[in-house]
Structure 1
Amino acid sequence: MAFVMVFVLLLLILLYFYLKRKYFTPRKDLPGLEPQFLFGNLIQTGIIPNGVSVAQALTTFKQRYGDIFQFWLGPSYYVVINDIVDVQHIFTNRHIYEQGEVFIQQASILFSDGLICTKGDYETACFRETNK
């Protein structure tokens, strides 16, 4: 019985390290805080314990890390881009950076005031707006 419990415990520990390495390893080439397992940057930025808004946390990250940084909203990974020149480059090369419908729906709920337009006619209108 003790052997089975030790085996299960070892299996859970290995699963934890596998998940942490596979899904919660930050990119070394982008600035940002290292995420905590399952919580990402929510606790570190004060979103969970102090009620800081996501917009306030992203503003703090921009001041600390610059125009491009990585942010973990729980287990979801985001690369945040703030410079309009970089946004224009992404729109110009949208075949490289295009996102699916699920991303657009999630991002429009979380960041309703953000510039979220990556597909179709709506993307073309947004591209024209950023080139003015």
Structure 2
Amino acid sequence: DQEDGLLYSANPILAAEVIYDEELTDAFFKTIYHLLLHPPSKEVIMALEKRVVFATEAAEVCSPAYEHFQSNLADLVSVDDGPVRFHAEKIANTPQFFRYKRTKEMELWKISSQFTDSTLMQNG
């Protein structure tokens, strides 16, 4: 229907704070997979903060939510069948336009789709 058409043509797609729960992260990646799977090529711009915790049993600092995000991201970019390929890039040196205390754990990512068949790139 018309709403689905608008949803699948949205570009860029903006997201933030969606990786701190494994179920939410899985649902986010499932959603962007389905959105990016439809022509035309799109970009997802995603902001996140790598939250670090101290694991007492291993006596080490870790970030389980970020590791789960990285695992989902690796799965997405490894898709190598069909007419679409996915790419992910951590955006370095993002200019700061607003006054706030930026932590080194703040990251900005660009996830994009690219269609390999020229007829699909023109569809949409």
Given the two structures, how large is their TM-score scaled by the length of structure 1? 0.26
Which one scores higher on RCO, CA 8 angstroms, separation ≥ 6?
2
Name which one, 1 or 2, has greater alpha-carbon Rg: 1
Higher helix share: 1
